[in-house]
Amino acid sequence: MDDKVALIMGASSGIGWATAEAFASRGAKVVLAARREQELADLTHRIQERGGQASFVVADVAIAKDVQRAVSQAVDVFGRLDYAVNNAGYEGPLASITDFPEEAWDRVLATNLKGPFLCMQFEARAMLAASRGGAIVNVGSVNSFLGAAGFPAYCASKHGLIGLTTSVSAELAPKGIRVNLLCPGIIDTPMHQRGRALFGDALYDNILATRVHSRRAGRPEEIARSIVFLCSDDASYITGTTLTPDGGFVLTI
């Protein structure tokens, strides 16, 4: 991936952080975007210390001008945009449908569904303008297929990514831009650590022991490698589809 440029939205922790490092290790120049400036600065410094090229921009994926600024930074700083990973996500509160706050619904959908829509809109414009093609990966969840009591907004937003991804793939694939959806299972990230704290170790460990074929949580770097694969030339005939690195979780339900 030498001389290629990757934009990672939601790069400040977990899967996004690991994905940025994975692209950089393969020679890509990376632009990191998220809301947390200090974490972005730390990761940028870490990549640069290892000889990579990185830049960052503070951005909220639910705000169009922020997304536009992130995409513009990739083109302005590194001259092009080849790969885009739309990873920013928010799980929202645990609440019954009878009590779920409307403002929480709006925030979850804004981050998890409107965000990827805005990201692909500006990413596609940049890729089409350069006429070099490209690859976009949206990050969903096993909850793109499975409901979960108490998380109606999160599950709805992740289900929605299937339709959004396949629709955009149908439009962009003939123009040389591949769009795919990656749906991780239980991965050891800050989001899942919050889930463990919410539900307790016993429940989490029981799920891993009885419902995940691999009998463990995944590691962010394992998911990052799947994302890099979907962007690479090795996946040149893969578009409009879903890759589910979940240790067998969906197959067990």
Q: Which active-site residues does the annotation give?
A: 154
Integer CA distances (angstroms), 217 to 102, 146, 157, in order: 32, 18, 23
* Residue pair 6/85 in contact by the 8 Å Cβ criterion: yes
User: Which residues lie across from 206 on neighbouring strands?
Assistant: none
Whole-angstrom Cα distance, residue 247 to residue 124? 32
Instruction: Kindly tell me the sign of the dihedral angle through the C-alpha atoms of 193, 196, 197, 198.
Output: positive
DSSP state letters, 102-139: HHHHHHHHIIIIIHHHHHHHHHHHHHHHHTS-EEEEEE
Q: Return the structure tokens found at 142.
A: 């096993």
Whole-angstrom Cα distance, residue 20 to residue 166? 24
Q: Return the structure tokens found at 219.
A: 């590691």
Whole-angstrom Cα distance, residue 60 to residue 65? 9
Question: What's CA 238's distance to the chain center, in Å?
Answer: 17
